[in-house]
Amino acid sequence: MELQIIQNKIYDIRGMRVMLDYDLAKLYETETRALKQAVKRNIHRFPEPDFMFELTREESDAAIKLGVSQNVIPPGYNVGSSLIMAFPELGVAMLSSVLKSKKAIQVNISIMRAFVALRQYALGYADINRKLEDFMIETNMQFSDIYQALTELASQKELENKPRKRIGFNVKQDEE
């Protein structure tokens, strides 16, 4: 399975990277209802919030609107009486022990690779961000030095512009 497809189904909710039940069901080629039932039968394997959590009604509505606008969820999708389940990386890994089909195993391997790729991307981003901050500090110090030199030059120019008494022979002064 293509990593980009999976990465597009990983959302940042409550500060965690998660996949939603309907996306997982689609990847596993099963019904969302069946996936939720398997999780509820094995709820002890999914402690909240690091393995699974249910979205609030507002979060569910927002997720559905986002999914419909991105053509991920068909219009008119009904969550029903239960809320959307969100699965962080640990919860997705645990799904492989609950859903035992060959397809589920293959999809889980792909999903784990996608999470790892995102983590590596985030680490690379942090490294780039640190290097950028170092560059900005270095550049600011250089600009500070330049500003200081320009200030000194400007103050010297002010001293040069003061009228000074001329030194030497002046014909007009001698005639008087």
Rounded to an integer, the average pLDDT of 42-66 is 87
Average pLDDT in the chain:
78
Measured CA to CA in angstroms, residue 45 lies from 37, 85, 107 at distances of 13, 14, 19
Residue 87 confidence (pLDDT) above 90: yes
3-state secondary structure of 176: coil
Q: How confident is the model at residue 147 (pLDDT cuts 50, 70, 90)?
A: confident
- pLDDT score for 1: 55
Note the pLDDT tens digit of each residue in 114-137.
778 777 777 777 777 787 788 788
3-state secondary structure of 11: strand
Note the pLDDT tens digit of each residue in 88-120.
988 888 887 788 777 777 777 878 787 787 777
Distance CA 91, CA 85 (A): 10
Beta strands in 21-75 (DSSP E): 53-54
Q: Where are the domains of the chain?
A: 3-128
Please give the DSSP secondary-structure letter assigned to residue 87.
Answer: E
Quick one: tokens of 169? 């022979």
